[in-house]
Amino acid sequence: MASDELDATTDIVALAEHVDGLGQSVARRLDDAGIETVADILIADEGALTDVPYVSELRAGLLREAADEIADDPEADPLVDSIEVVLEATLGEKLQITLAERDAWANAWNVIEAPDPVEWESGDDDNWHTRRLRMSESASGTAKEAREFDLVLAGDEIRVEDPPVKRQSAQPDAASWRVESVGAVGRVTTSSLVQLQSDDDKEEAKPEGDDTWRQYQHRGETA
């Protein structure tokens, strides 16, 4: 596949010309189902591709392989606008983060907490957003000693910050770094996503303002 002429914004019909076994008619069915670009393939939920008529597991695998090859190209542009990526990121997405003041990490990071963005209205009627995503090098967010940090959006600025409860750990090597770009490059495995969703449910089950629920979680007395 000539991936050097493709990027995340390439539409699915154009991609079909480079993926053996896809075909224009199937590509149009994908487009009709909302899978319109390479970016959509990368962030599609498990099963979203095979829900489309005539997209078998084999075809879905070919599509994901082609999209991954494009995303892994070091010359490729970020998936979409970085602010849009942070605003739209969901639990289990894999994000490639490039820092402005140091070299980028080689590996993508996993979204393990994805609270809703907060919208603000300024005095001149211009709206802006804030959002704080928790990122981890562990796909399930449970691996011991896995590095974690917060990806923070405030207006038109994105920064990497240590989680407040882990300031002493100096992850990733400083309390705050300015982010140059953020690209969505895929999703964690189904099993990891299930673990993240389970952890999210446990967090929602804790009594408001009371942290003693954790002792009951270990004894299996919380949802």
Closest CA to 181 of 101, 67, 100, 105: 100
Q: Does some domain include residue 199?
A: no
Q: Are 17 and 110 members of one domain? A: no
Q: Are 9 and 91 members of one domain? A: no
pTM score, two decimals?
0.56
Give the chain's largest Cα–Cα span. Answer: 57
| Residue 217 confidence class, pLDDT cut points 50, 70, 90 | very low
Q: Are 64 and 86 members of one domain? A: no
Domain boundary among 50, 71, 92: 71
CB 102 within 8 Å of CB 177: yes
pLDDT of 111 reads 92
pLDDT of 104 reads 63
Domain boundary among 71, 95, 117: 71
Q: Does some domain include residue 52?
A: yes
Looking at the predicted structure, is the pLDDT value of residue 222 above 50?
no
Domain residues for the domain of 160 are: 82-187
Q: Are 91 and 181 members of one domain? A: yes
For residue 9, give every residue at least 6 positions away whose Cβ sits within 8 Å of its Cβ, in sequence order, or none.
37, 38, 39, 77, 80
Q: Are 89 and 181 members of one domain? A: yes
pLDDT of 105 reads 72
Q: What is the pLDDT of residues 145-173, one digit of tens each?
A: 788 899 999 988 999 988 765 544 444 44
Q: Are 93 and 175 members of one domain? A: yes
For residue 89, give every residue at least 6 positions away whose Cβ sits within 8 Å of its Cβ, in sequence order, or none.
95, 111, 114, 133, 184
Q: Read off the CATH number of the domain in which 41 is found.
A: 1.10.150
Q: Does some domain include residue 220?
A: no
Q: Are 133 and 38 members of one domain? A: no
Distance between CA atoms of 137 and 105, rounded to whole angstroms?
11
Looking at the predicted structure, is the pLDDT value of residue 126 above 80?
no
Q: Are 14 and 58 members of one domain? A: yes
Q: Are 97 and 155 members of one domain? A: yes
Distance between CA atoms of 104 and 96, rounded to whole angstroms?
8
Q: What is the pLDDT of residues 70-79, one digit of tens each?
A: 776 655 544 4
CB 148 within 8 Å of CB 166: yes
For residue 192, give every residue at least 6 positions away whose Cβ sits within 8 Å of its Cβ, in sequence order, or none.
92, 110, 139, 140
pLDDT of 219 reads 36
pLDDT of 78 reads 47
Q: Are 86 and 158 members of one domain? A: yes
Domain boundary among 39, 71, 103: 71
Average pLDDT over the chain, rounded to an integer: 76
| Residue 124 confidence class, pLDDT cut points 50, 70, 90 | low
Total structural domains within the chain: 2
